[in-house]
Amino acid sequence: MVTSSRPADDDGMTTTTNKQLVEDFISALFTDGDLTALDRYLDPDFVNHDPPLPGSPDGAAGMREAAEVFRKAFPDWRSDVQHMIAEDDL
């Protein structure tokens, strides 16, 4: 059994679990082009503090619009996570 070297957050998520969740989301949305990933991974109250396109709608709708634009422009787009930081207070 593998255990995290860091205790779980208040919601029971470990840093390792959080990283895997983010990597799965990136892979589904950007590599696979699966727009339903937005519905599965983003909270309905999601706020994007770095909108991908000027004038994009708020929340998941803006992410969906950007993903559609990127996928149309680059249909073979692939995102590979090389490094991810989630430890401590960033």
List, for residues 6-58, the tens digit of each pLDDT value: 445 556 678 889 899 999 999 999 899 999 999 999 999 999 888 888 888 88
Structure tokens at 30: 């950007």
Residues 6+ apart with CB under 8 A from 14: 4, 6, 7, 8
25 touches 36 (CB < 8 A): no
Q: What is the Cα Rg of the chain in Å? A: 15
pTM above 0.85, yes or no: no
Distance CA 64, CA 27 (A): 15
